[in-house]
Structure 1
């Protein structure tokens, strides 16, 4: 039987950098709700 759990994420031992080397933008958000 497998030790995998449904929905489990398996990642590398070191941090995973997303969109490495891509330009970034800053977005300011204001919550005007309750």
Structure 2
């Protein structure tokens, strides 16, 4: 149970990091226009 909870938390952190990268890329592309 503890291991599963740790993996779930790590998954959420990874998804948040990827979402942040995608969002930053969109903002940067918008500013370059």
Report the structure number with the largest CA radius of gyration: 1
Q: TM-score, normalised by structure 1?
A: 0.19
Q: TM-score, normalised by structure 2?
A: 0.19
